[in-house]
């Protein structure tokens, strides 16, 4: 596997901007698909993203920005998708370029609502990309901390560990530590599930539960995640590794966590719609909750998932959060 690969990033949110910053450390030319021309113009003239992580100075000499998704896809060997799961399919549908021979990196922490598939599975099934060329970017790595160059950890998961190693090398820097893993589906499911548990943690905080309950909630969430992932993709894995547990903890505890923020608002009495309107960023866990709930219930013997079930009931069945959490407290411990 050649290390002379060319890279392109798709998306212009906080995570996409953080990825551009990371990948610029080791690459001289990077393609960047940004949907809106005014954002492209602003980045070129001001050298920062006007909407997300505005403090990050971008080296525009290295960036080839374009609003044409096909031109960006054509010009790179490795395509990094960091578009929210709710919108990625509408963007992918614009593709006329053959991407079947490309390496696809999913930095999308959710399931595609239209197909109910993980991003890697969806691109394999609909765009002919070999599963060995699908990479998942995950681990405890908040975009806001990348912007501040605080030490962060990334796991690069790929069935082909040679590809994973080459990609890991490109993301490594003095503030990004990387490791590799061959559990692609497990890593992608964990990245989706932790957002649901972060919403639950936020709800608990908003409802007035303290640190004692939060610790029980987190330990229960870890076991629940293990049961769920084992049910959908059975293989030997250590759920305590950073790609699973580490990412779960930072998403549930960090003040940067938009999913925790969303849950906190629901716990404090906001409706789902009003919480979504007030937040400027997408809470991936909202969409992930419905997908995870349906995936689990479709199994002949569903995993025990009281936390996912409770979050689903509150978000989609409009159950009273206080009453729903009271019931949940009886099931945990």
pLDDT tens for the chain, 333 residues: list them: 556 899 999 999 999 999 999 999 998 899 999 999 999 999 999 999 998 888 999 999 999 999 999 999 999 999 999 998 888 999 999 999 999 999 999 998 888 888 888 898 999 999 999 999 999 999 888 888 888 999 999 999 999 999 999 999 999 999 999 999 999 999 999 999 999 999 999 999 999 999 999 999 999 999 999 999 999 888 888 888 888 898 899 899 888 888 999 999 999 999 988 998 888 777 889 989 999 999 999 999 999 999 999 999 999 999 999 999 999 999 987
CA angle 68-78-80, nearest 5°?
Answer: 65
Question: What CA–CA distance (Å, rounded) separates 330 from 37?
Answer: 52
Domain at 7-182, CATH from 3.40.50.720, 3.40.190.10, 3.40.50.2000, 3.40.50.2300: 3.40.50.720
The tally of CA atoms less than 13 A away on the side-chain side of residue 133 is: 18
User: Mind giving me the DSSP string for 176-213?
Assistant: EEEEEES-HHHHHHHHHHHHHHHHHHHHHHHHT--HHH
Token pair 């992608």 is found at: 188
Long-range contacts formed by 236-241: CB under 8 A, 24+ apart: 237/183, 237/186, 241/155, 241/181
Q: Which fold has domain 193-331?
A: 1.10.1040
Closest to 14 measured CA to CA, from 285, 291, 283, 292 = 283
Q: What is the structure's pLDDT at 265?
A: 96
pLDDT score for 86:
83
Degrees to nearest 5, angle at CA 27 with 180 and 95: 80
Residues annotated as catalytic (active site), given as ranges: 194
For the beta carbon of residue 209, count every other beta carbon within 10 angstroms: 17
Beta bridge partners of 180: 156
- Give span(s): CATH 3.40.50.720, the chain: 7-182
Q: What is the 3-state secondary structure (H, E, C) of 41-75?
A: HHHHHHCCCCCCCCCCCCCCCCEEEECCHHHHHHC
Every domain of the chain with CATH number 1.10.1040.10 lies at 193-331
Please answer whether residues 2 and 165 qualify as being in contact, where contact means their C-beta atoms are separated by less than 8 angstroms.
no
Question: Angle 132-134-138 (CA atoms, 0-180°, nearest 5)?
Answer: 130
């Amino acid at each position: 596997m050649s290390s002379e690969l060319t890279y392109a990033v798709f998306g212009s949110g906080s995570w996409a901007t953080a990825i551009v910053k990371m990948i610029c450390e080791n690459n001289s030319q990077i393609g960047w698909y940004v949907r809106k021309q005014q954002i492209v113009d602003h980045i070129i003239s001001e050298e920062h993203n006007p909407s997300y992580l505005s403090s990050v100075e971008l080296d525009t000499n290295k960036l080839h920005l374009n609003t044409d998704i096909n031109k960006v896809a054509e010009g790179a060997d490795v395509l990094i998708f960091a578009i929210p799961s709710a919108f990625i399919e509408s963007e992918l549908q614009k593709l006329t370029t053959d991407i079947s021979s490309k390496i696809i990196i999913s930095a999308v922490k959710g399931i595609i609502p239209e197909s109910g598939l993980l991003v890697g599975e969806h691109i394999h099934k609909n765009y002919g990309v070999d599963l060995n060329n699908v990479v998942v970017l995950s681990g405890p790595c908040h975009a806001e901390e990348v912007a501040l160059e605080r030490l962060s950890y990334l796991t690069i998961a790929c069935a082909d560990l040679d590809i994973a190693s080459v990609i890991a090398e490109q993301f490594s820097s003095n503030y990004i530590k990387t490791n590799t893993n061959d559990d692609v589906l497990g890593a992608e499911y964990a990245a989706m599930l932790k957002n649901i548990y972060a919403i639950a943690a936020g709800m608990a905080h908003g409802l007035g539960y303290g640190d004692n309950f939060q610790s029980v909630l987190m330990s229960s969430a870890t076991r629940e995640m293990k049961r769920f992932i084992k049910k959908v993709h059975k293989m030997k894995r250590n759920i305590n590794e950073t790609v699973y547990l580490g990412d779960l903890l930072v998403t549930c505890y960090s003040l940067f966590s938009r999913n925790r923020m969303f849950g906190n608002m629901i716990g404090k009495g906001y409706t789902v719609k009003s919480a979504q309107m007030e937040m400027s960023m997408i809470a991936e866990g909202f969409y992930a909750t419905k997908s995870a709930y349906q995936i689990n219930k479709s199994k002949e013997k569903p995993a025990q998932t009281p936390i996912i079930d409770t979050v689903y009931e509150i978000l989609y069945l409009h159950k009273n959060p206080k009453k729903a959490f009271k019931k949940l407290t009886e099931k945990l411990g």
